[in-house]
């Protein structure tokens, strides 16, 4: 590989990088004009020309790359990727041996030492690599070679989450090996899910909510009338139904959510006709529920960080308390609310502040029963709090 490009870090950012912060922010680079081709290896120096770290240049949201090493002599070559991926695979060995869970994360970006890349494993040796910048994508050949040395794969798929607008690039996601027969049925703590590895940016189930779904099934669902909002393919609803919920109601704006949710109930031998699956704007549904005096024993609130419909724009960072107030209003006394957010711009402390605000303004009391962040296969690093983005609080309305 070519010699690294020297990059000077502005004084305000030196301490941050030296302490282990991995994301190279756009504002941190003094001579950003030196960065021309994504995938270029860069050496970061302070104003005294002292070496700080080594990384790569790749545009990802506000970032301009990721730090890969604090060793100036480290060479970012095939052996570097071999080592990182081998260590990550070995750390997930218990998941490979768990017959009840056949979908999990194998490599979690900066948590495993290479920001901008994730690798997920699905039933029978199918892998999905997600590239978050053109910079990391330039190492595709090396990374796939490293993965093929570390695991016995059947087939490899990829998701390109980069372009000039920062949206998903539609493409044939198949890379190499055997093509899977879809739907591919995976297991998660014994729950079955139908996934499609070649069908757009998302495959059909969010693996980061595994522990929450298990908890809903095993501890909270029995005998409950459950509302699952922003339900996507109904994974929470399936978990609740398997846990003995008397009924589930799944609400999502996307037209395809209904067929996808029916499929998830069906692969678990559950009667989907005994459930309610509604294609509707969640904000409209809350108003409908109030008009019809509908209440629920459990409300699951897991909105996207940002969502837009014809009449509503939702941003988790400012609108979550108002959304939660609507959920509180239709939750029975002593009912359960599963409040969740995957927004990386705020942490658990601020999220709990949203909960406190919503209950205060609603004139209601609550008790926190459990809290969750990312599961153990989604490895994170202490120095990069944004990477541990998932916040879930299970609470009881008193």
What are the sequence ranges of the domains in the chain?
A: 5-69, 78-189, 206-397
Phi, psi at residue 394, to the nearest 5°? -95, 120
**pLDDT at position 170, please?**
58
**pLDDT recorded at residue 171:** 62
Q: Place domain 206-397 in its CATH homologous superfamily.
A: Vaccinia Virus protein VP39 (3.40.50.150)
**Euclidean distance between CA atoms 74 and 356, whole angstroms:** 48
First-to-last alpha carbon distance for the chain, in angstroms, is 61
Q: Does domain 78-189 have CATH number 3.20.20.70?
A: no
Question: So what's the pLDDT on residue 199?
Answer: 86
Helix spans in the chain (H): 11-18, 78-91, 93-96, 134-137, 140-150, 210-215, 235-242, 256-267, 282-291, 316-329, 348-362
| pLDDT of res. 167 | 54
Give dist(CA 231, CA 253) in Å, integer. 9
CA distance 315 to 336: 24
SS3 state of residue 346? coil
Residues of the chain below pLDDT 70: 1-2, 164-171
Angle at 395 between CA 390 and CA 398, to 5 degrees: 160
CATH superfamily for 5-69 is PUA domain (2.30.130.10)
């Amino acid at each position: 590989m070519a010699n690294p490009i020297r990059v000077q870090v502005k004084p305000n950012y030196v301490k941050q990088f030296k302490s282990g912060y991995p994301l190279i922010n756009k504002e941190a680079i003094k001579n950003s004009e030196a960065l021309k081709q994504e995938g270029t290896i860069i050496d970061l120096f302070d104003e005294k020309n002292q070496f700080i770290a080594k990384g790569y240049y790749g545009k990802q949201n506000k970032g301009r790359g990721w730090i890969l090493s604090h060793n100036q002599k480290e060479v970012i070559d095939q052996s570097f990727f071999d080592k990182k991926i081998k260590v990550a695979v070995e750390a997930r060995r218990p998941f490979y041996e768990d017959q009840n869970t056949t979908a999990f994360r194998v490599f979690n970006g900066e948590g495993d030492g290479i920001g901008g890349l994730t690798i997920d494993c699905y039933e029978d040796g199918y892998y999905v690599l997600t590239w978050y910048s053109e910079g990391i994508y330039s190492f595709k050949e090396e990374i796939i070679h490293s993965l093929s040395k570390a695991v016995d794969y059947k087939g490899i798929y990829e998701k390109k989450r980069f372009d000039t607008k920062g949206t998903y690039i539609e493409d044939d996601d198949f890379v190499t090996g055997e093509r899977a027969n879809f739907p591919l049925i995976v297991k998660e703590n014994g729950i079955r899910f139908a996934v499609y590895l070649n069908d757009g940016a998302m495959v059909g189930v969010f693996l980061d909510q595994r522990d929450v779904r298990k908890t809903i099934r095993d501890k909270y669902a029995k005998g409950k009338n459950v509302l699952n909002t922003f339900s996507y393919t109904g994974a929470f609803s399936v978990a609740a139904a398997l846990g003995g919920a008397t009924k589930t109601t799944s609400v999502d704006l996307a037209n395809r959510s209904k067929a996808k949710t029916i499929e998830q109930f069906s692969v678990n031998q559950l009667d989907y006709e005994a459930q309610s699956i509604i294609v509707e704007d969640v904000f409209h549904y809350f108003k409908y529920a109030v008009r019809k005096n509908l209440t629920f024993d459990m409300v699951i609130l897991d909105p996207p960080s940002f969502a837009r419909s014809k009449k509503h724009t939702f941003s988790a960072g400012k609108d979550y308390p108002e959304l939660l107030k609507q959920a509180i209003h239709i939750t029975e006394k002593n009912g359960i609310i599963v409040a969740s957010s995957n927004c990386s711009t705020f942490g658990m402390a601020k999220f709990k502040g949203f909960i406190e605000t919503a209950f205060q303004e609603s004139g209601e009391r609550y008790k926190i029963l459990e809290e969750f962040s990312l599961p153990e296969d989604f490895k994170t690093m202490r120095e990069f709090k944004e990477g541990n983005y998932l916040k879930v609080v299970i609470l009881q309305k008193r």
